[in-house]
Amino acid sequence: MGTHEDFLKLFLRHQDGVRAFLGSVVRDRAAAEDLFQDVSLILWKSFGAYDASRPFAAWARGIALKKVLQGREKSRRVPLAFSPQTLEAVLDAYDRTEAEAPDPSDLRDCISKLPPRSQSLLALRYERSLKLGEIAKEVGSTLDAVHKLLSRIRDNLQECLQRRLQAGSR
């Protein structure tokens, strides 16, 4: 497929998702982390076989699932949270969720369409990580008003993202 640089870009972007997948199907955190290390090496070694027309994350999770099932067959020490059939269903759910997830650029576009005050409130909450009470003091409003405003802003963003997803699926 590509270069080691291509692999690193894709791997770094999706490693948390692979780790989360393993953590969701293996009960023991240390075992999940060991599997993640093994899967990372397998991904690196087999990157030449990666089909760029498929999503990297789905490919990586598929390899992770195979490694989990192989480990389970070789030794019963891998404490699985589910049966192999359920693991397949979990993998399918991850893939569907990924396919339906909005592109981050869609969120940026939706935020840019908000009024400046709404953008400012979002920045205070999510960029500066201020608590609602701190935001209320900063903007000279009540805690209840800030809570309601942020709730409306999130609703507006959700509606905008839904419209974009529906427009993209046609």
CATH number of the CATH domain containing 79: 1.10.1740
Average pLDDT over residues 58-81: 76
Q: Are residues 92 and 9 in the same domain?
A: yes
Average pLDDT over residues 8-17: 91
Mapped onto helix, strand or coil, the DSSP state of residue 163 is helix
Q: Are residues 37 and 82 in the same domain?
A: yes
Residue-wise pLDDT for 143-155, tens only, equals 999 999 999 999 9
Total domains in the chain come to 2
Q: Are residues 10 and 90 in the same domain?
A: yes
**Domain span including residue 116:** 104-168
Q: Are residues 70 and 116 in the same domain?
A: no
Query: Taking the model in full, what pTM does it have?
Result: 0.52
Band (99; pLDDT cuts 50, 70, 90): low
Show the tokens assigned to 1.
Answer: 């497929």
CATH number, residue 124: 1.10.10.10
Where does a domain end: 100, 135, 151?
100
Q: Are residues 10 and 40 in the same domain?
A: yes
pLDDT number for residue 101: 61
